[in-house]
Every structure is written in structure tokens, then in C-alpha cells.
Amino acid sequence: MPRKPIHRAEPAPVVHGFAPLADAGARVLILGSMPGAESLRAGQYYAHPRNAFWRIMGDLVGAGPGLAYATRTRRLKSAGIALWDVLAACARKGSLDADIDPDSVITNELPAFFMRHPRITHVFFNGATAERCFRIHVQPALESGALRLQRLPSTSPAHAAMDYRRKLQAWQVILKSIKI
């Protein structure tokens, strides 16, 4: 009787994120988990056309998706907003946070980032995975209580349970933090 071939799942590819978008005046840091496949292909944060991030930033600080990417990122910086991801690299098939292999995560050097950006007082997480990875892998290395941490609803199109209006309403908390 012939043997059936053993099918082994191919390992998930390792993906690497981007450098932070920040300048010395940053007062707020928005952290995602890891850029999705569309963002990685484009070399831009939140490049998926259905991701609400840039639409929300347009409504909050004038950094909307109709502008060139360089203009959007300049507007974020001028508003005192820095942007990065908790993870520097991980194994993941596709774009979903749920597909990240938790044993493969390598975090960005966030403690050093906070040392270089001492004006940052608030960290906002773009979704639950970013918050969970930060609290597990980064927060233990930080000075306790130095930062205010808050999860916001994910801007990902995969988080369709909440409509745009409610997401925007939740994200408006950032405006209070950049006015400090």
C-alpha cells in the first residue's frame, strides 16, 4: 500500500516593520502592532485603502488620505504625534494580528525611544494586539507610571464591528493629549 505524503505547513515568513515617525516635539505616541501586507508593499504606515487611520488623522489634525504620504506624516509630526509599532519583526502569514506567531516577536527599542523623546506623556494603542504586546514585552522595562497608556479601537478594516463615527469619537481623546 503506497504511503500518503506528509504535508507540513510552511513556516510563516518573517516580516519587518518601519522606522518610527517622530520628531523632538512629540507629545503622543500611537503604536500599532506590525504593518500589514499592503503597508509593507507600499513602505507606508496604514496603506490599506480601507484602514481608517489616515481618515481619522485627517479629521483630527488635517493629515487625511487625500494628501501625499510625506505631507500626512509632516502634519502628524507638527501636531506632536509620533507613530510606530510595538513589533520590529515577527513571523506572520498575511496581514492579520491573529496570525502573528507569538514565539517569533521581536520588539522595537521603545525604552530607548522614550529616552530620546522625553516630552511623550501618552501612548495610544491602535487595537488590542498592540496593547497586549506592549504590556507583555515592553512595559516591564519602563519606569512605572511614567506614561499614560490607552487602547483605542483598531482602525483596521478587520475591526468592522465598530463604525467609523464611533471610532473617530474614541480617537478624539488624542486631541486633549497633544494640547498639553
The residues carrying an active-site annotation are: 51
Q: How far is 109 from 4, CA to CA, in rounded Å?
A: 47
Residues 6 or more apart from 146 whose CB is under 8 A from it?
A: 114
Say which residue the cell 503597508 belongs to.
Answer: 39
Residues 6 or more apart from 120 whose CB is under 8 A from it?
A: 26, 27, 28, 29, 82, 114, 147
Q: How far is 177 from 152, CA to CA, in rounded Å?
A: 14
Is 149 exposed, middle or buried, given 0-12, 13-18 or 19+ CB atoms closer than 10 A?
A: middle
Q: How far is 123 from 149, CA to CA, in rounded Å?
A: 5
Q: How far is 29 from 45, CA to CA, in rounded Å?
A: 14
